[in-house]
Amino acid sequence: MNSADRHQPTRREFLRQAALAAGCTAAGTITGCGEAGRKADTAGQEVSATGGASSVFIVCDPADVVAAGEPAQWSIKQLQASLSAKSIASGVGQRVGQALAGTLCIVAAGTASPLAREVLSGASVAVPNSPEALGLVPGQLSGRPVLLACGRDIRGLVYAILELADRVDHAANPLAALEIRLPVTEQPANRVRSIMRLFASDVEDKSWYYDKSFWQQYLSLLVAQRFNRFALALGIGYDFTSRLRDTYFHFAYPFLVSVPGYDVRASGLSDAERDGNLEMLRFISEEATRRGLHFQLGLWTHAYQWTDSPNVNYTIEGLSPETHAAYCGAGLETLLKACPAIGGVTFRIHGESGVAEGSYEFWKTVFAGIGRCGRRVEIDMHAKGMDQGMIDLALATGMPVSISPKYWAEHMGLPYHQAAIRPTELPRPDRQDRGFFSRSSGSRSFLRYGYGDLLTEERRYNILHRMWPGTQRLLLWGDPVMAAAYGRASSFCGSNGVELFEPLSFKGRKGSGLPGGRDAYADATLRPARDYEKYLYEYRLWGRLLYNPDAEPDTWRRFLRDEYRGAAVECEGALAYASRVLPLFTTAHTPSAANNNYWPEIYTNMPIVDAARPHPYGDTPSPKRFGTVSPLDPQLFLRVDDCADGLLRGEPMAKYSPIEVAQRLDDLADAALEHLHDAEKEIADRKSPAFRRLVADVAVQSGLGRFFAAKLRAGVLYAIYDLTAEPKALEEALDVYRRARKAWAELAAQAQDVYVRDITFGLDQQLRGHWLDRLPAIDEDIADMEKRAQSPRPADQRIPVSAAEVAQALRVVLGRVQRPAVPLVHVVPPFFSAGQPMPIELMLFDPQGLVVAVRLHYRRVHQAESYQTADLVSQKKDPPVRNAATGDASRWNAAIPSEYTNTSYPLQYYFELRDEAGRAWLYPGFGATLANQPYFVVRQG
């Protein structure tokens, strides 16, 4: 984070940042956008199709196979319903001549149809030649003004028509909203944009599973926001086969189908209920397909025997180890034949599936069931435990194959792919491929929480990144800048896209479900009619900006204007800044990669002082306390203890320190609350449930930002005391930790009447409860810190530093970090050739010669490998490159050697710079919005 990041953002600056992140020149400006969704060149020609119209006529040629398709016809009905809700009459016909005078004529067509070709040719507009591309083009047809809504395929046309419906829905003057004067064309940045909804609780989830009207509305929402895939996940609620309580749909086949030749049942489940479950699954999958959504069924568990589970509600009868594989293959075949709209199946293939890793014959038998269903069905395999044997089995079926690694372990970090995974996940010589988890705990451990070695350019499978719900699961989230950045990052190295767990995922997990609904509101006036309705803005941002990261800001602002009226701008800013708090902290400090252990929204305190204090964070370095926790990206971020040690030793720290992260968290919290304060002054109806929900969740996330900021500083200060026994360091640590405690108490009090006292995402203490429950552990840690004054480190174990050096370190921790800013230019090579050196050049406009060293850090895009380094060599450029403001440029050169480029993997790299004052920083590093990729990637030519 450079010096430009540190000021308090104003409303104008916020809007400018959001507009720039969306690819536009200024907030609200309608201009050309970036590569993923660039608009057609309109040559400055403006055309209007409305002409003062008072009704709408939609032309749909029955000979147009795209427009005549069921999803397109469904979307036309949606547009008509939106118009009718605004008291605007509409009709549908086959020819423009049928439209009455004074009617806005909309032509719905595939781009290859004669109608579309005539309008596009006359308007000199070309719709991108890619799947799901769309166009909204004003023009002429048969001498009459028309608005062409077109798509390269059925989905593209559906998106075009639903875009018009959305404009109508959120406009005070709907017909004016349809007055599109400049052509709009868009194409998707990601081939797959998926939402997963999971069944985890018979108490909390049966109601929505059986609700047909819920599914019709929910699936309509997804396609309107340009998601193109919906995944329904079954059997994902547990990691192991012990301590099970709620197993409805856990081993899914006997809950859905009777398999010919097998007498396998779920105990206590009637045939009528089983058949009703199948009928609902058929309905859901068909409703998704009718809207143009790919329907994916997740079968995450193939275990059928439970251990140490005396309170389990269902067991599986009639199955044995000898019949297990054959039954599963036949069950999958039966299920796919009974539900022909299922387009793909997701499998967990590592040990948590209940099947030992390396059980190739079992999976060969299961996959054969897909082959027998008689159609093309995608095989999607969760990446943990993946090896070449499993990949070959899936490919041998002839079906399309995807592998789905976790994006940021089981959490949500900043919008890029980790520069490195934690050392805990790296393979070690002492790990051998033995036992039930032979691969994921052995030589393939690097695939537990990331993409590992899957991104080879020679792959014959697709990659779909899956973002797990550890970081954000309950509170409102909504940052267009970050969502757009994820839209750019999700096609990383040719990946297909991303699948998101829906908000509230794992609610009621492991038998913790409670009556009263999933939303967890104590205040009944805050409850939305459907649980997802709280998150409509979040769905909009993710769907629209995964499709087109460069979408116009009006894409989301029309919704905000409709919801918050005059306070829309401030509400956008408040939620955007609050939404960056937890992803930043997750990236910089993650005590557990597992969402089952770590829930930062309702954080279980990890002790700064005594590692023996109870906490759930097992997968963290020893001693297991706050200062030793690894960042989720340890290549770019520093641990708390390492920061303290570096400060005392006077070592340059190029990585982002906990002090810098704390500074940014404080700034984000301040900015969010400033916008929230202004929103409260400008909102017309302060009692509106939507506004009150936003106020509550922004306040909580801002409070979390202040808490984590203070705790990071307290952790560094305490580590300084621990290393030096300097009383002032302990005094400052206690003062800052008490401020952290105050911030937590305030946010907990704000949430006290908003949320129920037992918010359950699991049975274990860290997965349930309320913010108020976490205060005692914080108080115990502060008390332990106070006691340390009587037991300092022995003198012979302290770092030998002077009191003045300690005082300087304390000033750094309590102050604001300033990173140098030296103008520079780096041109990323467009590609590299395998087996050939890849030259790297950096030009520095540094007339005073402040920079004394530049180091290149590079690695293949392979998370099991370590970074290599090379020092760049400086020389004056001849002839010099002159810049009027910064002077001559110095040229720094290095090369990635040929033996390293002889690979099937892309390359990634970044620079570390040092100046004569001993300061160090990274390039490209993070920009003002934390929304850029902090390294460069080059693929093979």
Q: What is the pLDDT of residues 853-909, one digit of tens each?
A: 999 999 999 999 999 999 999 986 554 555 544 458 899 999 999 999 999 999 999
Phi-psi region of 543 (alpha: psi -120 to 50; beta: other; left: phi over 0): alpha
pLDDT number for residue 48: 58
Sort strands 294-299 and 229-234 into parallel, antiparallel or unpaired.
Answer: parallel
Of the listed ranges 33-37, 215-219, 332-336, 433-437, the one predicted with least confidence? 33-37
Give the model confidence (pLDDT) of 395-407 as tens digits: 999 999 999 999 9
pLDDT over 80 at 12, yes or no:
no
pLDDT over 70 at 769, yes or no:
yes
pLDDT number for residue 23: 45
Of the listed ranges 118-127, 597-606, 843-852, the one predicted with least confidence? 843-852
ω into 879 cis (within 30 of 0): yes
pLDDT number for residue 367: 98
Of the listed ranges 78-82, 139-143, 226-230, 461-465, the one predicted with least confidence? 139-143
Cβ partners under 8 Å of residue 429, min gap 6: none
pLDDT number for residue 847: 83
In 3D space, the residue among 909, 902, 910 whose CA is nearest the CA of residue 837 turns out to be 902
pLDDT over 60 at 703, yes or no:
yes
Counting every residue written for the chain, the total comes to 941
pLDDT number for residue 44: 40
Cβ contact 600:585 at 8 Å? yes
Q: What is the mean pLDDT of residues 214-221?
A: 98
pLDDT number for residue 85: 97
- Helices 70-85 & 271-290 angle (0-180, nearest 10): 80
Name the band, by pLDDT with cuts 50, 70 and 90, for residue 31: very low
State which amino acid sits at residue 446: F
pLDDT number for residue 435: 87
Q: Tell me the two tokens of residue 292.
A: 């143009």
Q: What would you report as the CA-atom Rg of the chain, rounded to the nearest whole angstrom?
A: 29
Residue 839, H or E segment: strand 838-844
- What's the mean pLDDT when you consider all of the chain? 93
Cβ contact 132:187 at 8 Å? yes
pLDDT over 90 at 225, yes or no:
yes
Of the listed ranges 577-586, 809-818, 876-885, the one predicted with least confidence? 876-885
Q: Tell me the two tokens of residue 328.
A: 């599963």
pLDDT number for residue 53: 77
Cβ partners under 8 Å of residue 532, min gap 6: 218, 221, 502, 503, 539
Of the listed ranges 17-26, 83-92, 252-261, 689-698, the one predicted with least confidence? 17-26
Q: Tell me the two tokens of residue 81.
A: 């319903």
Cα gap 543→549, rounded to integer Å: 10
Name the band, by pLDDT with cuts 50, 70 and 90, for residue 941: confident
pLDDT over 80 at 25, yes or no:
no
More confident residue, 879 or 66: 66
Name the band, by pLDDT with cuts 50, 70 and 90, for residue 433: confident
Q: How many angstroms separate the first and last alpha carbons of the chain?
A: 33
Of the listed ranges 609-618, 802-811, 813-822, the one predicted with least confidence? 813-822
pLDDT over 70 at 40, yes or no:
no
**238 burial level (CB within 10 Å; 0-12, 13-18, 19+):** buried
pLDDT over 50 at 671, yes or no:
yes
Residue 91, H or E segment: strand 90-93
Give the model confidence (pLDDT) of 559-580 as tens digits: 999 999 999 999 999 999 999 9
- Helices 154-169 & 212-224 angle (0-180, nearest 10): 100
146 beta partners = 139
Cβ partners under 8 Å of residue 328, min gap 6: 253, 302, 362, 365, 366, 369
656 beta partners = 637
Residue 531, H or E segment: none
Name the band, by pLDDT with cuts 50, 70 and 90, for residue 512: very high
pLDDT over 60 at 652, yes or no:
yes
pLDDT number for residue 30: 24
Cα distances from 776 to residues 196, 592, 614, in angstroms, run: 36, 21, 12
Give one DSSP letter per residue of 205-244, joined into a string.
HHHHHT-HHHHHHHHHHHHHTT--EEEEEES-S-SSSBS-
Give the model confidence (pLDDT) of 381-424 as tens digits: 999 999 999 999 999 999 999 999 999 999 999 999 999 999 99
Cα gap 487→481, rounded to integer Å: 10
Q: Tell me the two tokens of residue 732.
A: 């400052």
- Could you give the count of Cα atoms lying within 13 Å of 904 in the half-sphere of its Cβ? 8
Percent of the chain with pLDDT over 90: 89
Sort strands 873-876 and 265-266 into parallel, antiparallel or unpaired.
Answer: unpaired
pLDDT number for residue 849: 87
The number of beta carbons lying within 10 Å of the beta carbon of residue 446 is 19
DSSP 607: P
Q: What is the mean pLDDT of residues 281-298?
A: 98
Does the predicted model carry a pTM greater than 0.85? yes
pLDDT over 70 at 537, yes or no:
yes
pLDDT number for residue 692: 98
Cβ contact 237:510 at 8 Å? yes
In 3D space, the residue among 504, 511, 512, 513 whose CA is nearest the CA of residue 533 turns out to be 504
Residue 890, H or E segment: strand 890-896
Collapsing DSSP to helix, strand or coil, 896 comes out as strand
pLDDT over 50 at 817, yes or no:
yes
Give the model confidence (pLDDT) of 306-348 as tens digits: 999 999 999 999 999 999 999 999 999 999 999 999 999 999 9
DSSP 869: E
pLDDT number for residue 924: 98
pLDDT number for residue 248: 98
Give the model confidence (pLDDT) of 145-202 as tens digits: 999 999 999 999 999 999 999 999 999 999 999 999 999 999 999 999 999 999 999 9
Cα gap 803→447, rounded to integer Å: 46
CA 730, distance to chain mean position in Å, is: 38
- Could you give the count of Cα atoms lying within 13 Å of 579 in the half-sphere of its Cβ? 23
Give the model confidence (pLDDT) of 452-501 as tens digits: 999 999 999 999 999 999 999 999 999 999 999 999 999 999 999 999 99
Instruction: Give the largest Cα separation in the chain, rounded.
Output: 95
Cβ contact 457:383 at 8 Å? no
Give the model confidence (pLDDT) of 73-123 as tens digits: 999 999 999 999 999 999 999 999 999 888 999 999 999 999 999 999 999
Q: What is the mean pLDDT of residues 520-549?
A: 98
Name the band, by pLDDT with cuts 50, 70 and 90, for residue 52: low
Cα gap 502→514, rounded to integer Å: 19
